[in-house]
Structure 1
């Protein structure tokens, strides 16, 4: 069994938050679920830059963390839907602030990227 050589500092709020949101697409997944996208195939279409495998892995991690809940409907074809838990809903203001910052500073980030590449 794997054990960390350096223990995580779970007394640090940033570490705890990044443990949940750390992952390239997790905030986008939570935002999508909040906007009514419930099924994995819908998330795959909405987040087209991410591979389905990565989205499925991050959905599983969010479910394990108690941020989302998975509901499986009986019948054929099998239907799966995700929804936010109360803990997941409590992350929405954090995601909104991240989104707002990105929108407000997109041009600055793009300018820096052009300076580095150009």
Structure 2
């Protein structure tokens, strides 16, 4: 009953089964590596999202500070314009006072020498 064709057939089946098992083991290892890479990628993604959140908060704080600085610059600009106007008014008033004094001196001189 020992038939050589059955033996060849069994050996062939065993060989196919071993090759199938080898393929399954390689596939399992590949899946395990892929799973590990996916886990690492997820961790990196989580870290990146967290860091981006922190950077967003930092940018929002910086934007608020810049808006505040812009408001203060506008206020300072208004004050400087007002100060410039006041200085101009003071110069005009001083010139008027000088002109009035000159007119008074001329009037006094005219009255003293010609009357």
Query: Could you say which structure has the larger radius of gyration?
Result: 2
Bigger relative CO (Cα 8 Å, ≥ 6 apart): 1
TM bucket (normalised to shorter chain) is under 0.3
**TM-score, with length taken from structure 1:** 0.20
**TM-score, with length taken from structure 2:** 0.20
Higher strand share: 1
Higher helix share: 2
